[in-house]
Structure 1
Amino acid sequence: MEFSHLTHASRLRNQTSAVYHNCLDWSLADWSNAIAGETGEMCNLIKKIRRGDSIDVKDVGKELADIVIYADLLADQLGLDLGECVRQKFNEVSDRIGSNIKV
Protein backbone atom coordinates (compact mmCIF):
# COMPACT_ATOMS: atom_id res chain seq x y z
CA MET A 1 0.00 0.00 0.00
CA GLU A 2 1.18 3.52 -0.73
CA PHE A 3 0.81 6.32 1.79
CA SER A 4 -1.02 8.39 -0.84
CA HIS A 5 -3.84 5.81 -0.84
CA LEU A 6 -4.02 5.96 2.95
CA THR A 7 -4.06 9.77 2.93
CA HIS A 8 -6.86 9.89 0.37
CA ALA A 9 -8.96 7.28 2.20
CA SER A 10 -8.47 9.03 5.55
CA ARG A 11 -9.51 12.40 4.10
CA LEU A 12 -12.60 10.86 2.56
CA ARG A 13 -13.55 8.98 5.73
CA ASN A 14 -13.09 12.08 7.88
CA GLN A 15 -15.27 14.15 5.55
CA THR A 16 -18.09 11.62 5.18
CA SER A 17 -18.29 9.85 8.55
CA ALA A 18 -20.36 11.29 11.35
CA VAL A 19 -17.98 9.63 13.80
CA TYR A 20 -14.78 11.02 12.28
CA HIS A 21 -16.14 14.34 10.94
CA ASN A 22 -15.23 16.09 14.20
CA CYS A 23 -11.56 15.28 13.52
CA LEU A 24 -11.50 17.89 10.75
CA ASP A 25 -10.88 20.64 13.30
CA TRP A 26 -8.28 18.81 15.38
CA SER A 27 -5.15 20.76 16.18
CA LEU A 28 -1.64 19.48 15.58
CA ALA A 29 -1.50 18.76 19.31
CA ASP A 30 -4.66 16.62 19.03
CA TRP A 31 -3.11 14.53 16.24
CA SER A 32 0.22 14.17 18.04
CA ASN A 33 -1.55 13.20 21.27
CA ALA A 34 -3.46 10.54 19.34
CA ILE A 35 -0.13 9.14 18.10
CA ALA A 36 1.21 9.15 21.66
CA GLY A 37 -1.90 7.35 22.92
CA GLU A 38 -1.65 4.61 20.32
CA THR A 39 2.09 4.31 20.96
CA GLY A 40 1.34 3.83 24.64
CA GLU A 41 -1.15 1.08 23.83
CA MET A 42 1.43 -0.67 21.65
CA CYS A 43 4.11 -0.33 24.35
CA ASN A 44 1.75 -1.83 26.90
CA LEU A 45 1.30 -4.92 24.73
CA ILE A 46 5.07 -5.24 24.28
CA LYS A 47 5.49 -4.95 28.06
CA LYS A 48 3.03 -7.80 28.50
CA ILE A 49 4.90 -9.92 25.95
CA ARG A 50 8.16 -9.15 27.79
CA ARG A 51 6.74 -10.36 31.10
CA GLY A 52 5.46 -13.58 29.52
CA ASP A 53 1.79 -12.86 28.98
CA SER A 54 0.13 -14.50 26.01
CA ILE A 55 -0.43 -11.62 23.58
CA ASP A 56 -1.37 -12.09 19.94
CA VAL A 57 1.23 -10.20 17.89
CA LYS A 58 -1.58 -9.28 15.49
CA ASP A 59 -2.84 -7.00 18.27
CA VAL A 60 0.57 -5.29 18.29
CA GLY A 61 0.23 -4.95 14.53
CA LYS A 62 -3.13 -3.24 14.95
CA GLU A 63 -1.62 -0.69 17.31
CA LEU A 64 1.30 -0.13 14.92
CA ALA A 65 -1.25 0.47 12.16
CA ASP A 66 -3.05 3.02 14.35
CA ILE A 67 0.26 4.83 14.90
CA VAL A 68 0.97 4.95 11.15
CA ILE A 69 -2.57 6.12 10.34
CA TYR A 70 -2.38 8.96 12.87
CA ALA A 71 1.12 9.86 11.69
CA ASP A 72 -0.21 10.10 8.14
CA LEU A 73 -3.12 12.27 9.29
CA LEU A 74 -0.72 14.58 11.13
CA ALA A 75 1.60 14.77 8.13
CA ASP A 76 -1.37 15.64 5.93
CA GLN A 77 -2.40 18.43 8.31
CA LEU A 78 1.13 19.82 7.97
CA GLY A 79 1.04 19.55 4.18
CA LEU A 80 3.65 16.78 4.21
CA ASP A 81 3.74 13.53 2.27
CA LEU A 82 4.52 10.86 4.89
CA GLY A 83 5.94 8.46 2.32
CA GLU A 84 8.38 11.10 1.10
CA CYS A 85 9.30 12.01 4.69
CA VAL A 86 10.07 8.35 5.44
CA ARG A 87 12.08 7.95 2.23
CA GLN A 88 14.16 11.05 2.92
CA LYS A 89 14.81 10.13 6.55
CA PHE A 90 15.75 6.53 5.72
CA ASN A 91 18.23 7.74 3.10
CA GLU A 92 19.60 10.41 5.46
CA VAL A 93 20.36 7.75 8.09
CA SER A 94 21.91 5.49 5.44
CA ASP A 95 24.21 8.35 4.44
CA ARG A 96 25.09 9.06 8.08
CA ILE A 97 26.03 5.45 8.86
CA GLY A 98 27.78 4.85 5.54
CA SER A 99 25.24 2.43 4.11
CA ASN A 100 24.52 2.33 0.40
CA ILE A 101 21.03 0.95 1.02
CA LYS A 102 18.46 3.57 -0.01
CA VAL A 103 14.75 3.63 -0.65
Structure 2
Amino acid sequence: MSAFSTLREANEVRQAEWDKESGISLSYRGNELAGEVGEACNVIKKLERERLGIRGSRATIEQLAEELADAVICVDLIAMHEGIDLQQAIARKFNSTSEKYGLATRMIVAEAGSR
Protein backbone atom coordinates (compact mmCIF):
# COMPACT_ATOMS: atom_id res chain seq x y z
CA MET A 1 0.00 0.00 0.00
CA SER A 2 1.42 3.39 -0.98
CA ALA A 3 1.56 6.53 1.12
CA PHE A 4 -0.99 8.06 -1.24
CA SER A 5 -3.50 5.27 -0.79
CA THR A 6 -3.02 5.35 2.99
CA LEU A 7 -3.56 9.12 3.00
CA ARG A 8 -6.61 8.85 0.74
CA GLU A 9 -8.21 6.20 2.94
CA ALA A 10 -7.58 8.26 6.07
CA ASN A 11 -8.89 11.43 4.37
CA GLU A 12 -12.05 9.62 3.27
CA VAL A 13 -12.81 8.38 6.77
CA ARG A 14 -11.94 11.65 8.51
CA GLN A 15 -13.82 13.72 5.94
CA ALA A 16 -16.98 11.73 6.63
CA GLU A 17 -16.55 12.63 10.31
CA TRP A 18 -15.55 16.24 9.72
CA ASP A 19 -18.15 17.26 7.13
CA LYS A 20 -21.17 15.06 7.77
CA GLU A 21 -23.35 17.10 5.39
CA SER A 22 -20.75 17.10 2.58
CA GLY A 23 -21.00 20.87 2.40
CA ILE A 24 -17.35 21.68 1.79
CA SER A 25 -16.92 23.03 -1.74
CA LEU A 26 -14.06 23.01 -4.20
CA SER A 27 -13.55 26.75 -3.68
CA TYR A 28 -13.31 26.19 0.08
CA ARG A 29 -10.67 23.53 -0.53
CA GLY A 30 -8.76 25.84 -2.86
CA ASN A 31 -8.70 28.58 -0.25
CA GLU A 32 -7.68 26.05 2.39
CA LEU A 33 -4.76 24.96 0.19
CA ALA A 34 -3.68 28.55 -0.44
CA GLY A 35 -3.64 29.15 3.31
CA GLU A 36 -1.57 26.04 4.02
CA VAL A 37 0.93 26.82 1.24
CA GLY A 38 1.13 30.38 2.56
CA GLU A 39 1.94 29.06 6.03
CA ALA A 40 4.70 26.87 4.56
CA CYS A 41 6.09 29.87 2.66
CA ASN A 42 6.11 31.92 5.85
CA VAL A 43 8.17 29.22 7.59
CA ILE A 44 10.56 29.16 4.62
CA LYS A 45 10.94 32.94 4.91
CA LYS A 46 11.83 32.56 8.59
CA LEU A 47 14.34 29.82 7.82
CA GLU A 48 15.95 32.04 5.19
CA ARG A 49 15.99 34.93 7.65
CA GLU A 50 18.04 32.73 9.97
CA ARG A 51 20.37 31.69 7.15
CA LEU A 52 20.89 35.31 6.13
CA GLY A 53 21.39 36.47 9.70
CA ILE A 54 18.75 39.18 9.57
CA ARG A 55 16.43 40.20 12.37
CA GLY A 56 13.02 38.73 12.86
CA SER A 57 11.22 35.66 14.10
CA ARG A 58 12.57 32.19 13.42
CA ALA A 59 11.17 28.80 12.49
CA THR A 60 12.34 25.19 12.48
CA ILE A 61 12.54 22.43 9.92
CA GLU A 62 9.97 20.57 12.02
CA GLN A 63 7.53 23.46 11.54
CA LEU A 64 8.19 23.38 7.80
CA ALA A 65 7.52 19.62 7.77
CA GLU A 66 4.16 20.19 9.49
CA GLU A 67 3.10 22.90 7.06
CA LEU A 68 4.16 20.87 4.02
CA ALA A 69 2.22 17.90 5.39
CA ASP A 70 -0.86 20.13 5.77
CA ALA A 71 -0.48 21.23 2.14
CA VAL A 72 -0.19 17.65 0.86
CA ILE A 73 -3.26 16.63 2.88
CA CYS A 74 -5.18 19.55 1.34
CA VAL A 75 -4.04 18.59 -2.17
CA ASP A 76 -5.33 15.06 -1.62
CA LEU A 77 -8.65 16.40 -0.29
CA ILE A 78 -9.05 18.45 -3.47
CA ALA A 79 -8.18 15.44 -5.64
CA MET A 80 -10.60 13.30 -3.63
CA HIS A 81 -13.34 15.93 -4.03
CA GLU A 82 -12.92 15.82 -7.81
CA GLY A 83 -12.36 12.05 -8.16
CA ILE A 84 -8.72 12.38 -9.22
CA ASP A 85 -6.29 9.51 -8.69
CA LEU A 86 -3.47 11.69 -7.38
CA GLN A 87 -0.79 9.00 -7.52
CA GLN A 88 -1.50 8.40 -11.20
CA ALA A 89 -1.74 12.12 -11.98
CA ILE A 90 1.62 12.83 -10.32
CA ALA A 91 3.38 10.01 -12.16
CA ARG A 92 1.99 11.11 -15.52
CA LYS A 93 2.93 14.77 -14.94
CA PHE A 94 6.41 13.83 -13.69
CA ASN A 95 6.99 11.66 -16.74
CA SER A 96 5.65 14.33 -19.09
CA THR A 97 8.10 16.88 -17.69
CA SER A 98 10.99 14.40 -17.96
CA GLU A 99 10.08 13.72 -21.57
CA LYS A 100 9.69 17.42 -22.38
CA TYR A 101 13.19 18.21 -21.09
CA GLY A 102 14.94 15.06 -22.29
CA LEU A 103 15.49 13.60 -18.82
CA ALA A 104 15.67 9.84 -18.30
CA THR A 105 14.01 9.59 -14.87
CA ARG A 106 10.46 8.24 -14.96
CA MET A 107 7.88 7.14 -12.41
CA ILE A 108 5.78 4.03 -12.79
CA VAL A 109 2.22 5.01 -13.69
CA ALA A 110 -0.26 3.19 -11.48
CA GLU A 111 -3.06 1.31 -13.17
CA ALA A 112 -6.34 3.20 -13.34
CA GLY A 113 -8.35 2.79 -10.19
CA SER A 114 -5.38 1.86 -8.00
CA ARG A 115 -4.13 4.39 -5.53
TM-score norm. by structure 2 comes to: 0.80
Query: What does the per-residue CA deviation read over 1:16-57, in whole Å, with 9 as the maximum and x for residues that have no partner?
Result: 3xxx22583211111111110000001001111111154210
> Which amino acid letter does the alignment assign opposite residue 3 of structure 1?
F
Q: Which amino acid aligns with 1:14?
A: Q
Kindly indicate whether residue 66 of structure 2 is the aligned counterpart of residue 62 of structure 1. yes
Q: Say how many residue pairs are matched.
A: 100
Residue 91 of structure 1: which of 80, 88, 95 is its match? 95
Does the Cα contact within 8 Å between 2:7 and 2:73 map onto a contact in 1?
A: yes
In the TM superposition, 1:1-103 aligns within 5 A as: 1-16=2-17, 20-21=18-19, 24-52=22-50, 53-103=57-107
Aligned-partner Cα distance in 1 for 2:89–2:75:
11
Q: Distance in 2 between matches of 1:54 and 1:33?
A: 26
Which runs of 5 or more structure 2 residues have no equivalent in the other structure? Answer: 51-56, 108-115
Taking only aligned residues, the RMSD between alpha carbons, in angstroms, comes to: 1.5
> What is the TM-score normalised by the length of structure 1?
0.89
The CA deviation at 1:60 is 0.2
Could you say which structure has the higher helix fraction?
1
Identity %: 36
